[in-house]
Amino acid sequence: MWARSVPYDEFARLRREAPVAWFPDEGSGFWSVHRYADIVAASRDVATFSSGRGVSFEEPTDEDMAARRTIIDTDPPEHTKLRKVVSGAFSQRAVAVYEHFITELTEQVLDACPASGTFDFVDAVAKEVPIRVLARIMGLPAADLDLFIDLGDRLIANTDPDITDVVWGRDDTDAYRRYPFRSPYGKQLWDLGRQVVAGRLADPGDDLLSRLLQAEVDGDRLSETDLDNFFSILVVAGNETTRIAIAHGVLAFCQYPDQWDRLRADPALLDTATDEVIRWSCPTHFMRRTAAADTSLGGATISAGDKVILWYVSGNRDEAEFADPDVFDVGRNPNRHLSFGRGGPHLCLGVHVARLEVKLVLAALARRFSRFELAGEPRRIRSNFTNGLKALPVRVSR
Ligand code: HEM
């Protein structure tokens, strides 16, 4: 179903008829939360809706969690401490220094595209920018870049046999269950991270990794496991998500050319257009929480230990929050979408980097291309978690 399309109509029906519904499938079953207001309420109440069992459908053991826990899988007070270490590096002011770099990188990537005619936008553009921005933020050596990109791809699209030969749910072995995504590529990513860390220890710079190495949490340095996991969450959370937003943005502009004309005619709309692209694309369909106590949400009675799936993709189309939610409107304001999470402490750490990247890529595209048209069927990644496109054939006009 997800490989074909996002089931927006089905979510609309669930919002009307079963706002918080129990689905007995997927292991031990799960509560499925569809309305905007309930999603925000659960995100806010971290004491009841815990992130401590992870944010995916997976059912990890305590040992798995201990080895693989990243910031996204922690609750306060541990979360608060970890977040304090990295938040400065991701503030709006701190990331503004990358503006020039991102614009130059985007221009280079666009220079390499055919001047007009048909090409795959995911391969040629959307995939190229985010990982290179991350590599820059983390201070990765250029020699490691290709491996870094390859590992990022194999991990994120880990349910799609077109992209990885180790498919989650099909090829799981206990040998890798303590590594990110239960994958040998997760182990390779950690190994790469350790090499890079060793380089930074020997020769510190002003990049994020060097700062993490020097950071202290309550007088303690981050452990080796914390560092491994920071390295992997940044790759996993910051690469494909931004790629999806950029690719789906262009798909939306193929489908609604009037909105592209409107944005090109009025670059003052770039900020609202960026957030509309991010609402529309909702790169991460859901986040999971686990009930830490018996509670109720949206009329449902939830028991301690139950898995609770917050469908951001449904909340982003909730008619109770958004006027005409199924209309793509580059001037939408307000736009309190859920794509970065909302209401709780886990709000995407990379929110300012992501917005800056999407905005600068849109600006560069608007300077160059007067029209995008679909030149074939977009191909979706087989995943209920990310809204990824693996191919987006487009025809561009100058
Ligand atoms: C359009 C792009 C992006 C989207 C849609 C996105 C989405 C999200 C979402 C939904 C969450 C979890 C929120 C929750 O639990 O409620 C999250 C957390 C996170 N994101 Fe992003 N993200 C994007 C880009 C980035 C980038 C570029 C980075 C890093 C450079 C990043 C790093 C993180 C980290 C580290 C977390 C965990 C934060 C925490 O648990 O405190 N993200 N992101």
> Average pLDDT by consecutive 10-residue portion of the chain (398 residues)?
94 98 89 98 98 91 87 95 88 94 97 88 93 88 84 74 67 66 82 87 84 77 82 84 97 98 98 98 98 98 98 98 98 98 97 98 96 96 90 94
pLDDT for residue 289: 98
Pocket test for ligand 1, best of 71, 231, 276, 348 (most atoms within 8 A of CB): 348
Would you put residue 299 in left (φ > 0), alpha (ψ -120 to 50) or beta?
A: left
Q: How far is the CA of 172 from the centre of ligand 1 (A)?
A: 26
pLDDT for residue 168: 64
pTM for the structure as a whole: 0.94
pLDDT for residue 174: 64
Q: N- to C-terminal Cα distance for the chain? A: 36
Beta strands 307-311; 286-291: pairing state: antiparallel
Which whole-number Å values give the CA distances from 57 to 26, 51, 307, 386, in the listed order?
7, 12, 8, 13
Whether the CB of 245 sits within 6 Å of ligand 1: yes
Residue nearest to atom 35 of ligand 1 (CA): 349
Alpha helices by DSSP H, listed for 18-122, are 36-44, 62-68, 78-87, 92-96, 99-111, 121
Whether the CB of 346 sits within 6 Å of ligand 1: yes
Whether the CB of 340 sits within 6 Å of ligand 1: yes
